[in-house]
Amino acid sequence: MVPMARAATTSDVFNAIAEPRRREILVLLRAGERPVGELARELGMAQPGASKHLRVLREVGLVRDRKAGKQRLYGLDARGLRPVHEWAGGFEQFWSESFDRLDAYVQGLKQTRKEE
């Protein structure tokens, strides 16, 4: 049996953030730049694993890195999330309408209780 090739996770932002650990890294980087060792400790994983995730995030434009002495610091580049934001924004009207219907229903229940 020939093993299947793993799908590229760096083809776009959506594939890159589909991995939960990568989303965790992005959340950690919201607070500011951090070295890979610190990120690995926070995530409870080995540094090589964290480095691989950071490489994927860097390749899709979500993370930038820079040398600071002997360390390499990684930081969030949230501009890369624009396609995700734009895609998710397309559902905003759906959610707004759903919440409006729920609010109307709750208000109707409150009015019925007052009348009883």
pLDDT one-digit tens code per residue, 35-80: 999 999 999 999 999 999 999 999 999 999 999 999 999 999 989 9
**Alpha helix ranges (H) inside the chain:** 13-17, 20-29, 36-43, 47-59, 82-89, 92-115
Domain spans in the chain, listed from the N-terminal domain onward: 13-115
Q: Mean pLDDT in the chain?
A: 86
pTM, entire model: 0.72
Q: How many whole angstroms separate alpha carbon 69 and alpha carbon 78?
A: 25
Looking at residue 4, what is its pLDDT?
42
Residue 97 has pLDDT above 70, yes or no: yes
Looking at residue 17, what is its pLDDT?
93
Q: Report, at the CATH architecture level, how domain 13-115 is classified.
A: Orthogonal Bundle (1.10)
**Which residue's structure tokens are 């590229």?**
8
